[in-house]
Structure 1
Amino acid sequence: MRLWGRGQLRYLCPGHTKPKLPVKTFSNSVISLLALAAVLTACEPTANVGKNGKSLDVDALANDIEARIKPDVMGYQIVVFADGSLRASRAGGNARRAADAPERKMDVGDKINVASVSKTVTAAALLHALNAKNINIDSTMWAYLPKHWSLHKSIKTITFRQLLAMRSGFPKNVASDYASLKAAMVVGATSPRLTYNYQNMNFALMRFLIPNLVGGYSITPMPANASAQKISEVEQKQAQEYTDAYMNYCQLNVFDKIGIAPNMACKPTDANPALCYKWAAPDGKGTDWGDMTLTNAERGWNMSALQMATFMNALHHTYKILPKSVADAMRRDTLGYDNANILTNTGIKYVMKNGGYPASLNSGEVGAWVFGFGNEVYVAVLVNSDPKAGTSVWTDVVAAFDAWYN
């Protein structure tokens, strides 16, 4: 193992002539024992995760995923954990293209806004808070919203579970800023309750719920009989305070548990960060998605594929974030995931969460995926462009898994 560059961790496994895994997201002083252990075990690509405990070469899975997606995107990261350890990683293509000097290649330490994969992080944080306070997931959530908000009567019947499962009945396309969420509480639930309806505001509200659930955070109170100007002033403060509190809770109780994610943010923090592009303008400038701090919880966290995969392993294999019973409920009840209890063609159950901002509406596209397969294999994929027409990263990952497992 070698250290070189500005605190960047890179290693050489026996038989390799070039670095396989750069970890750019932390300095030497904060490299944890977990991170070092993960690097060392990545030199052991086999794991007993096949049929009847058969040993499988995880490098072969990573190779197949890479072969399938590499021609279709401009840059990519792939990280695979199996049986509790980091087993394989791949990165390729450009993190920054010629129009955005300095041009450079992608690696698995590059952090990019992972869009709605942030929801799985937020779900873990909310469930951690509920468990810490011994509050049932089927309790109503309204009492933990800002006290001065006006609430439609339907809001007082919505439970934490319904938020997590996207079954609250909230209206479509509500923006995630403070003012929009406050206004939506007056409108209330407008869709049939218990019907699955993917709406970002379910998770955006959690940046208010989590701080109020756990207490101990300084939130400016709204004075009685406040003028319109005073309300505006206090709400501007609250917007930042709730966001800061939410991010602090996620850092302490989610990111710090995985060992390689200090000082996480909902904006780019690296010098010359990886950018996102689109095939419609391959020579155009890319985007880093800017600062989403004040609209986070449902989106915004900047993460690498290494951090996403390590998060999934810590959540569902080592149970460093949540007790096993709670983490298992996330998988069983589709809490913070797009899909759960679905089967591969080889009969393995898996969960999946996707995040993205489409090229059709932006100067680039990001695609982020986390997978948790029932044989203790966790895969994270991050791409920085739209895939070519007729291709699907999700389909490619599952097809590669089936070919490998079979």
Structure 2
Amino acid sequence: MKTFPISAASWLALIALLNACQPNAEVGKNGKTLDVAALADDIEARIKPDVMGYQIVVFADGSLRASRAGGNARQAADAPERKMGVGDKINVASVSKTVTAAALLHALNAKTISIDSPMWSYLPKHWPLHSSIKTITFRQLLAMRSGFPKNVLSDYGSLKAAMAVGATSSRLNFSYQNMNFALMRFLIPNVAGGYSMTPMPDNASVQKINEVEQKQAQEYTDAYMNYCQVNVFDKIGIAPNMACKPTDTNPALCYKWAAPNGKGTDWGDMSLTNGERGWNMSALQMATFMNALHNTYKILPKPVADAMRRDTLGYDNANILTNTGLKYIKKNGGYPASNNAGEVGAWLFGFENEVYVAVLVNSDPKPNTSVWTDVVAAFDEWYK
């Protein structure tokens, strides 16, 4: 996949856009005008002492209103040391699921396929399927109610094997399993059509099966990423080169709070395990995406986008109440420092008054702190 570096002119245009933000928006109670910059300031004040580096971007009433960034994108151990900016792209982990959900819903809507249709016929044709797979719907995948087993890896072989095992628990219960969204990198190209996959010959030998599946793994990944680029990212003009690996020179890295002088990580290339994770995005791109999805409706028609909010499709939580009585949706992504060389934390918030907040941090927070609760507490203080 070809990548395009951000030009100096593009950076100047970005800086001009951010500097020109009009912070006031009519998003208070009964249409009261509020200073969105004050919300961004409060969020920054709450999280700044607790992480290595951070990005905060706020859209309100359809427009970019405020952005903040601080701390280090790269520490001294990973020279060149430099500060964090709102355009620094980092692997946003499970926030990728919301992108994937939007892409799948776009493909289903374009083909007038019901979200409540069974999904099995859009899997690779030669995969062996347990009988329970044929009753799982697109909605159940999107809502994490498929009944799939826990801790299935997201590579081609693991997902294929899981389809032979089938659903192992009740679909009445919510169960957060990454494989629901990893499967969508196969479903989206097949629902959309127009993508060429290497066919599996009849009576193929084990060697031939392995050879074809290696090709298919790359082909499905490429097709999924192309569909997201054309039908999600290009719809809102955030970048022509979105990827599931670092593409910037000296990209922002992620660190452990308890080891401030240690080396960081950029998470590497997750293209072959994407769908449920992997997209490298900045907070500016995250917030632009969410505002376009739920305010401008450039990606999905309003009824479809509204169903995402109402039915918790591609989100962790929907219809949560703030202390001031407004509903909001949330998606969190992260790789914990306990299991990795560093930690990333990514959050999308969509409040009922058309305020959209994206926060991206490149370390685990200090003990007994929470970015989620800090953002909501800042919102409550601001909105009251």
**Is the CA contact (8 Å cut-off) linking 1:338 and 1:352 kept in structure 2?**
yes
Q: 1:85 to 1:41 in 2, by over 3 A?
A: farther
Map 1:237-386; keep pairs closer than 5 Å: 237-386=215-364
Q: Distance in 2 between matches of 1:5 and 1:189?
A: 48
Q: Distance in 1 between matches of 2:263 and 2:256?
A: 9
- Identity value in percent: 85
Which of the residues 88, 95, 98 maps onto 1:120?
Answer: 98
Letter in 2 for 1:62: A
Q: Distance in 1 between matches of 2:342 and 2:271?
A: 20
**Is the CA contact (8 Å cut-off) linking 2:51 and 2:362 kept in structure 1?**
yes
Q: Cα RMSD between the aligned structures? A: 1.3
Q: Distance in 2 between matches of 1:7 and 1:285?
A: 32
How far residue 5 of structure 1 moved from its aligned partner, in angstroms, is 7.3
How far residue 282 of structure 1 moved from its aligned partner, in angstroms, is 1.0
**Is the CA contact (8 Å cut-off) linking 1:42 and 1:85 kept in structure 2?**
no
Give TM-score, length-normalised by structure 2. Answer: 0.97
1:181 equivalent in structure 2:
159
Map 1:46-195; keep pairs closer than 5 Å: 46-195=24-173
Q: Distance in 2 between matches of 1:6 and 1:385?
A: 28
Identify unmatched segments of 5+ residues in structure 1.
Answer: 12-20, 23-35
Q: Distance in 2 between matches of 1:294 and 1:75?
A: 28
Letter in 1 for 2:78: D
1:9 equivalent in structure 2:
11
**Is the CA contact (8 Å cut-off) linking 1:164 and 1:202 kept in structure 2?**
yes
Worse overlay, 272-281 or 113-122: 272-281
1:221 equivalent in structure 2:
199
How far residue 9 of structure 1 moved from its aligned partner, in angstroms, is 2.4
Q: Distance in 2 between matches of 1:343 and 1:374?
A: 10
Look up the SS of the partner of 1:183 in the other structure. Answer: helix
**1:245-303: CA deviation from partner (whole Å, max 9, x where unpaired):** 00000000000111122210000000000000012211000000000000000000000
**Is the CA contact (8 Å cut-off) linking 2:57 and 2:283 kept in structure 1?**
yes
Runs of 4+ in structure 1 off by over 3 angstroms are none
Letter in 1 for 2:8: R
Worse overlay, 389-398 or 274-283: 274-283
Look up the SS of the partner of 1:397 in the other structure. Answer: helix
Identify unmatched segments of 5+ residues in structure 2.
Answer: 1-5
**Is the CA contact (8 Å cut-off) linking 1:42 and 1:86 kept in structure 2?**
no
**Is the CA contact (8 Å cut-off) linking 2:50 and 2:369 kept in structure 1?**
yes
Does residue 202 of the first structure (1) align with residue 180 of the second (2)? yes
Does residue 230 of the first structure (1) align with residue 208 of the second (2)? yes
Look up the SS of the partner of 2:8 in the other structure. Answer: coil
**1:105-127: CA deviation from partner (whole Å, max 9, x where unpaired):** 00000000000000000000000
How far residue 193 of structure 1 moved from its aligned partner, in angstroms, is 1.6
Q: Distance in 2 between matches of 1:65 and 1:162?
A: 34
How far residue 40 of structure 1 moved from its aligned partner, in angstroms, is 7.0
Which of the residues 13, 19, 22 maps onto 1:44?
Answer: 22
**1:34-66: CA deviation from partner (whole Å, max 9, x where unpaired):** xx8xx2794310000000000000000000000
Letter in 2 for 1:111: K
Q: Distance in 2 between matches of 1:65 and 1:358?
A: 22
How far residue 75 of structure 1 moved from its aligned partner, in angstroms, is 0.1
Letter in 2 for 1:295: T
How far residue 192 of structure 1 moved from its aligned partner, in angstroms, is 1.1
Letter in 2 for 1:68: R
How far residue 328 of structure 1 moved from its aligned partner, in angstroms, is 0.1
Q: Distance in 1 between matches of 2:79 and 2:87?
A: 19
How far residue 6 of structure 1 moved from its aligned partner, in angstroms, is 2.9
Letter in 2 for 1:193: R
Look up the SS of the partner of 2:102 in the other structure. Answer: helix
**1:139-179: CA deviation from partner (whole Å, max 9, x where unpaired):** 00000000000000000000000000000000000000000
Q: Distance in 1 between matches of 2:8 and 2:22?
A: 27
Q: Distance in 2 between matches of 1:326 and 1:314?
A: 13
Letter in 1 for 2:293: L
Q: Distance in 2 between matches of 1:92 and 1:129?
A: 38
**1:55-109: CA deviation from partner (whole Å, max 9, x where unpaired):** 0000000000000000000000000000000000000000000000000000000
Q: Distance in 2 between matches of 1:235 and 1:111?
A: 31
Look up the SS of the partner of 2:22 in the other structure. Answer: coil
